[in-house]
Amino acid sequence: MDTLRIEGGQVLRPDMTVERADVLVDRDDGTILDIGTDLDADASETLDADGCLVMPGLVNAHCHVSMTLLRGYADDKELDAWLREDIWPAEAALTADDIRVGAELGLVEMIRSGTTTFADMYFDVPEIVDAVENAGLRARLGHGSVTIGKDNDDAWDDIEESIEIAREFDGAADGRIRTAVMPHSLTTVGEEYLREAAAEAHEDDIPVHYHANETTDEVDPIVEERDERPLSYAKDLGMLTERDFIAHGVHVDDEEIALLAETGTGVVHCPASNMKLASGMAPVQDMLDAGVTVGIGTDGAASNNDLDMFDEMRDAAMIGKLAADDASAVAAEDVVRMGTAGSAEAIGLPGGALEVGGVADIAVVDLDAPHLTPANDLVSHLAYAARGSDVRHTVCDGQVLMRDREVLTLDQAAVMQRARDAVAALRDRI
Ligand SMILES: CSC[C@H]1O[C@@H](n2cnc3c(O)ncnc32)[C@H](O)[C@@H]1O
Ligand SMILES: [Zn+2]
C-alpha cells in the first residue's frame, strides 16, 4: 500500500480538541487510515509536522477563482457600480487562456494558504476543470449564468450551458470535481430561467448555487415587485433544498433564516467581500442558532483581495460579533468549524474534519512564529492569529500539493509570469 505519514505534530480533532498524534494516509484511495501515537506501518513518504498543528484542509465555499487577474483592478465601490462599471466590462474581454491562468494563480494561492477544497462560479469552466484536475484540489464548479440584458435565445443558451457543463464534468478528476448549476442571482436571472435551471439540476441530483440577499439594492426590488422576501421567492422556484447553497445571505430576516434551516439550504458567508463592498453584516450567530449550515468563502480576489481562508475566518469572527453586538458571538471554535466542516457540508463535498476513513485533505500549520506564541489556545490561534503563510504542507486526497512551502503541482513562478503577461494584454484590450 502507498502511504503517507504526517509525523510529530499536534492534531485538531472534529470536536475541536487538540492532541499529539501522527496521521497515516492511504494514498491509493486518498483517505485517512489512522490517527494516533503508535502507528506501526512504515510509510512510503513522510511529512515532518514537529512544532506544527495538523488540521483539516480549509474549504473556500464561494469563489470566482479566475478573478485573481482582476485583483486591485477596481476597488472602493459598492457592488452594483463595481460590477457594471468595472468588472463586467473587464470580464467581457477575458479569453479562455486568461481564465486558465487566473485559475492557476488562484489555485497556487489557495494551496499556499492551506485550502484544499473550493466552490467556484465562473465561465469557460472547462479551463478551470483542467486546472483543478492538474493542481490536485477538490472542487465544486459551475458556469454562472446571467440572463438580464440578453434576448430570449441567448438567455436560454446561457442557462443550457450551465446545465450542460454541470452534467458533463460531474465526477471529473477521479471524483474530486463535482458540479452545480449556477444562476448568478435572483435579480440577474429571470424567473422562468431560474425555475427551469433548478428543475433540470435537481432531476440529476445536482445542486443549485447562486448569490442571494447580498445587498439591500438586490432585496428591495424583489420585495416591491413580488410582495415576498427573496428566499421565499427562491423556495417557490425550487431553489431552496438540502443540496443547494447560497452565497452571502447578508440581508435575511427571521422568516428567511427559518426557511434556510427548515430546507437545509447552505449559506456561504463572505465577510471580507461584504465589508469591502459595504454590502452589510450577515446575522451569522442568528443563523447558527437556528441550525442553518453556514460555511465561509472569500468570494473573488477582486472584492477581498486575497483567497486566504485564515483572513476570512478572522473577519467572520470579528464582524459576527459586531453584527450580534455581542463579543461572545461567532466564537473561535465556530469560525474554525465554519471554515472547514461547515463549508464542506454547505457545498456537499467530503472533508473539513480529520477522522479515520475520511478524506485525507490536510493543512499543516507551522506554530513556530512570534504571532503564534505562546500556544495558549491553538483553536484561538487558528481563528484570530494564524495566516495563510503559516501553512507548511498541504495535502489533498492523499497527494502532497505543497511540501515545506514549495508548491509541487504547479510551477508558481511561471504561473505568476503568465498572469502578469495576461493582464498586460488584457489592459491593452479593455
Ligand atoms: C457569471 S459568473 C459569476 C459572476 O459573479 C460576479 N461576482 C463577483 N463577486 C460578486 C458578488 O459579490 N456578487 C455578485 N456577483 C459577483 C463575477 O464578477 C462574475 O461576473
Ligand atoms: Zn460571488
Here the ipTM equals 0.99
Question: What is residue 98's predicted lDDT score, i.e. its pLDDT?
Answer: 98
- Residue 119: in which H helix or E strand, if any? strand 115-122
Ligand 1 center to residue 40 CA distance, Å? 49
**Pair 307, 60: CB distance under 8 Å:** yes
Residue 338 Rama label (left phi>0; alpha psi -120 to 50; beta): alpha
Q: Classify residue 286: in a domain, yes or no.
A: yes
Of 268, 330, 339, nearest to 300 (Cα)? 268
Preceding peptide of 230 cis, ω within 30°: no
Q: What's the pLDDT tens digit per position in 392-416?
A: 999 999 999 999 999 999 999 999 9
Residues 241 and 336 reside in one and the same domain: yes
Q: Is the pLDDT of residue 114 over 90?
A: yes
299 in any annotated domain: yes
Q: How far is the CA of 427 from the centre of ligand 1 (A)?
A: 20
Q: Is residue 401 part of a domain?
A: yes
Lowest mean pLDDT among 41-45, 157-161, 363-367: 41-45
Whether the pLDDT of residue 118 is over 90: the answer is yes
d(CA 182, CA 194): 10
Residue 10 grid coordinates: 499536534
Q: How far is 108 from 101, CA to CA, in rounded Å?
A: 11
Percent of the chain with pLDDT over 90: 99
Q: What is the pLDDT of residue 38?
A: 86
d(CA 248, CA 280): 10
| The one-letter amino acid at 377 | D
Q: pLDDT tens for residues 49-105? A: 999 999 999 999 999 999 999 999 999 999 999 999 999 999 999 999 999 999 999
**Do 52 and 63 sit in the same domain of this protein?**
no
Residue 305: inside a domain, yes or no?
Answer: yes
**In this structure, which residue's CA is closest to atom 18 in ligand 1?**
87
Residue 277's closest CA among 79, 43, 42, 411? 79
CATH of the domain at 23: 2.30.40.10
User: In this structure, what C-alpha cell is assigned to residue 54?
Assistant: 495538523
Q: Are 295 and 390 in a shared domain?
A: no
Locus of grid cell 463535498: 349
* 168 shares its domain with 210: yes
* CB within 8 Å of 256: residues ≥ 6 apart: 213, 229, 230, 231, 232
Does position 41 have pLDDT exceeding 90, yes or no?
no
Coil, helix or strand at residue 25: strand
Angle at which helix 125-135 crosses helix 152-169, to 10 degrees, equals: 20
- Whether residue 127 is found in the same domain as residue 239: yes
Give the residue numbers spanning the domain of 393: 3-56+352-407
d(CA 315, CA 333): 14
The 10 Å Cβ neighbour count of residue 154 is 11
Please give the backbone phi and psi of residue 38, each rounded to the nearest 5 degrees, phi first: -120, 50
Number of structural domains (the chain) is 2
80 found inside a domain? yes
Examine residue 74 and state whether it is found in any structural domain, yes or no: yes
DSSP characters for 324-357? Answer: HT-TTSS-HHHHHHIIIIIHHHHHT-S-SS--TT
* The three three-digit cell numbers of residue 405, written as one number: 512551502
pLDDT at 292 over 90: yes
For residue 236, the domain's CATH number is 3.20.20.140
Q: Mark whether 224 and 321 lie in a shared domain.
A: yes
Same domain (yes/no): 48, 73: no
User: Measured between alpha carbons, how far is 226 from 229 in angstroms, rounded to an integer?
Assistant: 8
- The CA-CA-CA angle for residues 203, 206, 210, to 5°, reads 115
| Alpha-carbon distance values, 2 to 31, 135, 291, 361 (Å) | 11, 20, 40, 16
3-state secondary structure of 377: coil
Q: Is the pLDDT of residue 253 over 90?
A: yes
Rounded to the nearest angstrom, the distance between the alpha carbon of 401 and the centre of ligand 2 is 26
Q: Which atom of ligand 1 is nearest to the CA of 70?
A: 18
Is the model's pLDDT at 40 over the cut of 90? Answer: no
Residues 243 and 204 reside in one and the same domain: yes
Q: Which of 62, 82, 84, 87 to mutate to test the pocket of ligand 1 (most atoms within 8 A of CB)?
A: 87
Residue pLDDT, tens place only, 204-235 = 999 999 999 999 999 999 999 999 999 999 99
Query: Residue 381, annotated ligand binder?
Result: no
Q: Are residues 229 and 358 both part of a single domain?
A: no
Task: Report the residue among 60, 62, 64 best suited for mutation to probe ligand 1: largest number of ligand atoms under 8 A from its CB.
Answer: 64
Query: Is the per-residue pLDDT at 349 higher than 90?
Result: yes
Model confidence at 162, pLDDT cuts 50, 70, 90, reads very high
Is residue 257 a part of any domain in this protein?
A: yes
Alpha helices in 209-304 (DSSP H): 216-226, 230-236, 254-263, 271-276, 284-290
Q: Do 68 and 27 share a structural domain?
A: no
Strands 406-407 and 138-145: unpaired
Q: Which atom of ligand 1 is nearest to the CA of 88?
A: 20
d(CA 89, CA 426): 11
Domain co-membership, 254 together with 294: yes
Residue 384 belongs to some domain of the structure: yes
pLDDT at 379: 99
- pTM (2 decimals)? 0.99
Average pLDDT, stretch 323-336? Answer: 98
